């Protein structure tokens, strides 16, 4: 899947969870959704985009969620 599609999807997930006033809950919600519903190839591609393109296009909450939960999002 193309990185720009994954970024768009991650940003849409973030928009949903950003209604919570607790930043930690927002980050856990974003990361939890990605961990549960994205297959390993999608997670790898998003992590590669963040590493190689500094997360170009990603909302700050997506980048923070990935940074705080990277170990749980990295496929085995």
pLDDT at residue 38, as a whole number:
98
Q: What is the pLDDT of residues 21-48, one digit of tens each?
A: 999 999 999 999 999 999 999 999 999 9
Average pLDDT of the residues in 50-69: 97
* pLDDT higher than 90, residue 1: no
Number of domains in the chain: 1
Average pLDDT of the residues in 13-27: 97
Do 22 and 38 meet the contact criterion of CB atoms below 8 Å apart? Answer: no
Question: What letter would DSSP give residue 74?
Answer: S
Range of the domain at 32: 3-73
Closest CA to 63 of 22, 13, 20, 19: 13
Per-chain mean pLDDT for the chain: 97
The model's pTM is 0.94
């Amino acid at each position: 899947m193309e990185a720009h599609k994954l970024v768009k999807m991650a940003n849409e997930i973030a928009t949903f969870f950003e209604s919570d006033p607790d930043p930690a809950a927002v980050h856990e919600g974003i990361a939890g959704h990605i961990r549960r519903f994205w297959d390993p190839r999608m997670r790898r591609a998003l992590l590669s985009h963040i590493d190689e393109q500094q997360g170009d296009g990603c909302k700050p909450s997506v980048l923070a969620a990935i940074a705080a939960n990277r170990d749980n999002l990295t496929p085995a």
